[in-house]
Amino acid sequence: MSRAERGAIERAMAAALERHADRPAVMGADGAWSYADLRARIEAAARAFDEVLAADGPPGRRHVGFRLANRPEYVSLYFGALEAGHLPLLLDVSFNRGEVEAIRHDCGLDALVVDRSQLDALELSDHREPVECGGGVTIVPLERTAAPAHSPRSSTRVCRFTSGTTGRPKCIEFRGEAVVAAAENWVRGTGMTGRDRTLCLAALSNGLAFNTSLLSTFLAGGELHFLSGPPLTRVVARKVSEAAITRLVAFPVLYRNFTRPSGEHVGFAVSDLASLEHAISAGAPLLPEVREAFRDRYGLDISDYYGIAETGPCTFERDPSHHKGLGEPLPGVEIRIAAGEVLVRTASMASGYLNAPGLFEERLDADAFYRSGDRGRLVDGRLHLVGRTSDHINVAGRKIDPVEVADVVRGLAGVTDAIAFPDEDLNREAAVHLVVVARGDAAPDRRAVIAACRRRLAHYKVPGLVSFVDEIPRNGIGKPRIALLRERLRARSSNATRKETVA
């Protein structure tokens, strides 16, 4: 695509850059970029991609993968790739070498944008000399040894990924019009304005940040801020205070940590969050006691947001004092309930899965509503979720909700994270496998975990397997990476067996 053939995203962004030229746009470790600065950096990034990819033959659309943590350079390079007529594929920064190589095989990658410090660890095959582009970011030109297994639609302008539970990332294709619709409807539906300063904690590769923070911030004329380092409560609080952040989009675990009676919240004052006008939670259920404790301590209600990777933003609670449900449909969103399942049709729908042809279409009903896999109901126009249609663990014909099992353990002292998933016991019978992260003197052992489950759960829901780990691997939105967790547990078991054999 030539520069003269700008797509919907480029046109919308160009208009925003022109409209808000003198306003601050992106805040990073090296200071503020105005909208005019950002425009110049996007144009420079487009030229850089032209030069880096010139050796790949005649001009044309190239596939540029982004495996990069949030930073201002991500913004300029992403829009620069679009401006140069290329196709950005936004990879989760946690994707390992195997997953990146699978994407190269399935979808094709002509270049990878990556943190220079992480390049060697990826051990990429068949790449040319990296090109430094500031901020510790490098563009790595990649050789295509063979044609990719799948070709994107001609209308596709951005690709994002969902890993699911198989370990092979599925590539979701989006038209430019769908990306713009998601951003515009978020701005309209949530009342975002040019005075908003958004702190983006979720990875830009994920729909939560992509739809609520990236293009939407600039369409509204606001400021986009990033956090350096892990999202510890004291670090987040300091950033909110220093930058007078008005919008915080985060996962429930952060709000839970903000309400702990002691521990992580030490090191900051309640007044540090005084500038916040919107505290938005998404990605997992927010416990009622966390919501209440946050309001009591900081004087601010948390608004719920519900979105789906394949459809974009779906609902938002415009009245944060309303504590039941996930809010009402955003503009451009239609929701219906069929046989207990939530079906969604939006203006920001995906076009399909690039590397899983037909799978997306199978999940559409006759009216092009997407079957979300979530069970729910509409009450007075608000969406209420009650579980999943397909994530239950089947043990001896009985369905077990893994969230219910994990929630029992999350309430124990010393437990910081937990997850349950289907597995097999030593007799190769179906069983619930509970994985726990626990720290400190009060951390429970296996016996205490099982005892807690027996007190709260039916006997058939009690886990047959319990493992303790230092960390549960998660993607950019905070969803657990079950396939990777299984690999790590198998490797640990294998190493333990080898040690016993040697002994």
| pLDDT for the residue numbered 390 | 63
| Residue 236 confidence (pLDDT) above 80 | yes
Does the structure show a pLDDT above 80 at 127? yes
pLDDT for the residue numbered 165: 43
Between residues 286 and 451, which one has the greater pLDDT? Answer: 451
* pLDDT value for 381: 94
User: How is the beta sheet containing 341-346 ordered, strand by strand?
Assistant: 333-338, 341-346, 370-379, 382-388
What CATH number labels 3-8+30-154?
A: 3.40.50.980
Strands 430-438 and 465-468: parallel
What per-residue confidence (pLDDT) applies to 284?
72
Token pair of 221 as six digits: 């004329």
Cβ(462)–Cβ(191) under 8 Å? no
Q: In 3-state terms, what secondary structure has residue 233? A: helix
What are the DSSP E strand ranges found in 298-429? 302-308, 312-316, 328-329, 333-338, 341-346, 352-353, 370-379, 382-388, 393-395, 398-400, 415-424
Q: Identify the pLDDT of residue 325.
A: 87
101 pLDDT higher than 60: yes
List, for residues 360-381, the tens digit of each pLDDT value.
Answer: 999 999 999 999 988 899 999 9
Contact in structure between 281 and 250 (CB atoms under 8 Å) = yes
Q: Could you check whether 3-8+30-154 and 177-388 share the same CATH topology?
A: yes
Per-residue b or e along 483-497, where b marks 16 or more CB atoms closer than 10 Å to that residue's CB: ebbbebbeeeeeeee
Average confidence (pLDDT) over 130-141: 92
Give the range among 65-79, 200-214, 260-274, 332-346 with minimum mean pLDDT. 260-274
- What does the domain layout of the chain look like in residue ranges? 3-8+30-154, 177-388, 393-502
Rounded to an integer, the average pLDDT of 490-501 is 64
Domain range 177-388, CATH class: alpha beta
Residue 386 has pLDDT above 70, yes or no: yes
Please compute the mean of the pLDDT values over residues 346-355 and round it to a whole number. 97
Instruction: List CB contacts of 500: < 8 A, sequence separation 6 or more.
Output: none
Per-residue pLDDT tens digits for 244-284: 999 998 888 889 889 876 545 567 889 999 999 999 988 77
Q: What percent of the chain has pLDDT over 70?
A: 91
Q: Average pLDDT in the 338-351 region? A: 96
| CB 182, CB 308: distance < 8 Å | no
Confidence at residue 157, expressed as pLDDT on a 0 to 100 scale? 97
d(CA 459, CA 463): 9
pLDDT at 181 over 90: yes
Is pLDDT of 230 > 90? Answer: no
The answer to whether 119 touches 96, Cβ cutoff 8 Å, is no
Model confidence over 395-411: pLDDT tens digits?
766 778 788 899 889 88
Element (H, E) at 247: strand 247-250
Q: What confidence score (pLDDT) does residue 262 get?
A: 57
Non-local CB neighbours of 498 within 8 Å, separated by 6+ positions? none
Q: For residue 502, is pLDDT > 50? A: no
* Predicted pLDDT of residue 3: 53
- The topology (CATH level 3) of 393-502 is GMP Synthetase; Chain A, domain 3 (3.30.300)
